Amino acid sequence: MAANQALNQMVQMNESIKLVVNIAFRINLMALNAILLSRRAGDLARGFGVISQELCSLSVALSENMRQVSAHAFHSVAHLSVGLRRQHRMDLFVRTHQQQTDARIDAVLQEGADFLSRSHEAAAHEEAQLHHLLEDAEQLCLFGIALSRSAKIEAAYGASYSSALREIAQEFDDYIQAILPELVQLRRNQAR
């Protein structure tokens, strides 16, 4: 039962991670196009170009963060699954050797308990790393929101390109805002 729950949690997390990576990729492409457009607009849109470069860097950092989140989530589930399998084998062993009292049985049970303890510690370590990574992702996203708002302001200085730059700035904001609910979902899944 717990293995199925962990698997379902991993599937949900992977879906959210894929969505965030996809959005980060779109932001990166848009930022590259915005950099080119701001260069065409000239010195008046230089600020927009700088913000676009920051958004480009942010999208790469967010993608890397999600790669790490995925790896830590996988390792956490793997540790829990191994522990659950070991627990199941120990339960079977105890049931089949219930009538016997032997030092070897005690040693096997102690070894199993030690293994379970190490598995739980490893999973807890992965969960802590996952928690920190998700906090970092949220901070990146909040920084992205601030950048997208600055981009909206800078778009006004783009002369004849200002309407195109304003439209791009709004798309930045929309995409970055779409990441926040996914990060909330990831944190909720991680907290289970």
Q: Can you list the domains of the chain with their CATH numbers?
A: 2-191 (1.10.287)
Neighbours of 72 (CB within 10 A): 21
Rounded Cα distance, 48 and 53, in Å: 9
The total of other beta-carbon atoms located within 10 Å of residue 102's CB is: 9
Per-residue pLDDT of the chain (192 residues; tens, 9 = 90+): 565 676 677 788 888 999 999 999 999 999 999 999 999 988 889 999 999 999 999 999 999 999 999 998 888 878 778 887 888 888 777 777 766 667 777 777 788 888 888 888 888 888 899 899 999 999 999 999 999 999 999 998 888 888 999 999 999 999 999 999 999 888 887 766
Q: How far apart, in whole angstroms, are the C-alpha atoms of residue 4 and residue 71? A: 19
Cut 0.85: pTM above it:
no
Q: What is the chain's alpha carbon radius of gyration, rounded to the nearest angstrom?
A: 24
d(CA 51, CA 46): 9
Q: Residue 182: name the closest of 69, 91, 52 by CA.
A: 69
